[in-house]
Amino acid sequence: MKKKISGAEKFDQFYEEYWKERWEPLKKALLKDRVKVYRKNKWSLYKAISDEVIEGCYQNEQIKVGLKNIKNFYFLDVASVIAARNLPVKEGMKVLDMCAAPGGKSLVLAEKMNGQGELVLNELSRTRRDRLKRVIDEYIPEEHKSFIDVRKYDGNNYGIHLKDEFDAVLLDAPCSGEEHLLHSPSELDKWNVKRTKRLSQNQYSLLCSALLTVKSGGHILYSTCSISPLENDEVIRKLLTKKEGAVEIQPIEQTYDMGESTEFGHMFLPDRCEAGPIYMCLMKKK
Ligand SMILES: C[S@@+](CC[C@H](N)C(=O)[O-])C[C@H]1O[C@@H](n2cnc3c(N)ncnc32)[C@H](O)[C@@H]1O
């Protein structure tokens, strides 16, 4: 009789087939505690910080001790900061963060826009949206709050109802999140390949929506925290094939000498750079 394979075994087989000999060290790194940074609120007057990892991001334990709320610092993976910094946004633009909660990347965009223009933060889940609102409320100074508009729609609606609307779109798509899966044996046990296939279809659909809602000449930054090839470069390949000539892939310019290039984008993986996993790809709509 054929032995029944558990979800965890299927998971291992799938990722090992792609990552080959790198899978074991990568899996080990994913199971370790992430190294996160405190990103300083540019509007905060907090001073005297050392141990800067990249511009404005610190690993100083003193901050932790003094941390009561997120008014001065937001704690997140350094690769998330780098991803958001790579979307070319500036003051006066109309920008969409299509899947925004809890908001770590939204705050980076808000600072880059310096409170000028219009920043739409969209989030489908009500509980996550409530968290996003709390983050915005605590972090963004009163005088800049009005340029932020929190919305509650399915990201797919933007492409249908708001064509050629935004100068830039961040699509930080819902993904497999293998790091969290590995920490949850019961979830891992339910794993099968359909999970990543289904998510990649959803991601492609959201990416098509982003493409329709961004203006010609505007940028889309697609990102995930997945290590499944189906959810990263393959989503981009599908767009390049099915919507031939619609976008131009742009180089990721701010890497801070971290991470590695992929066929269409850039990736941060914790076995080599103590950050991530984060995949990102920057596109310009023609
Ligand atoms: C990877 S998380 C975003 C993380 C966020 N960008 C950050 O940096 O804090 C993806 C989010 O997309 C939301 N989401 C899932 N499906 C969506 C959809 N169809 N439209 C809008 N948001 C969606 C999820 O609830 C989740 O909060």
| pLDDT of res. 71 | 87
Q: Enumerate residues lining ligand 1, CB below 6 A.
A: 80, 99-105, 122-125, 128, 154-156, 172, 174
| pLDDT of res. 119 | 98
Q: E-strand spans in the chain?
A: 36-40, 52-54, 57-58, 73-77, 94-97, 118-122, 148-151, 166-172, 214-224, 247-250, 260-261, 266-268, 278-285
Nearest CA to ligand 1 atom 11: 99
| pLDDT of res. 66 | 57
Q: Roughly how many angstroms between the first and final C-alpha of the chain, as a whole number?
A: 56
Respond yes or no: is residue 225 known to be catalytic: yes
Give dist(CA 277, CA 30) in Å, integer: 8
Nearest CA to ligand 1 atom 13: 99
Q: Which residues contact 241 (CB under 8 A, 6 or more apart)?
A: none
Walk along the chain (286 residues) and give the pLDDT tens digit of each residue.
667 899 999 999 999 999 999 999 999 999 998 778 999 999 998 876 788 999 999 987 777 655 666 888 999 999 999 999 999 999 999 999 999 999 999 999 999 999 999 999 999 999 999 999 999 999 999 999 999 999 999 999 999 999 999 999 999 999 999 999 999 999 999 999 999 999 999 999 999 999 999 999 999 999 999 999 999 999 999 999 999 999 999 999 999 999 999 999 999 999 999 899 999 999 999 9
Q: Which residue is it, tokens 């990722």?
A: 15
Q: Which domains does the chain have, with CATH numbers?
A: 7-33+78-285 (3.40.50.150)
Calculate how far, in angstroms, residue 100's C-alpha sits from the geometric centre of ligand 1. 5
Q: What is the pTM of this model?
A: 0.97
What amino acid is encoded at 25 in this protein? P
Question: In ligand 1, which atom is closest to the CA atom of 80?
Answer: 8
| pLDDT of res. 68 | 62
The helix/strand/coil state of 122 is: strand
Q: Which of 98, 99, 222 best tests ligand 1's pocket when mutated (most atoms within 8 Å of CB)?
A: 99
Kind of pairing between the strands at 214-224 and 36-40: unpaired
| pLDDT of res. 247 | 98
| pLDDT of res. 59 | 87
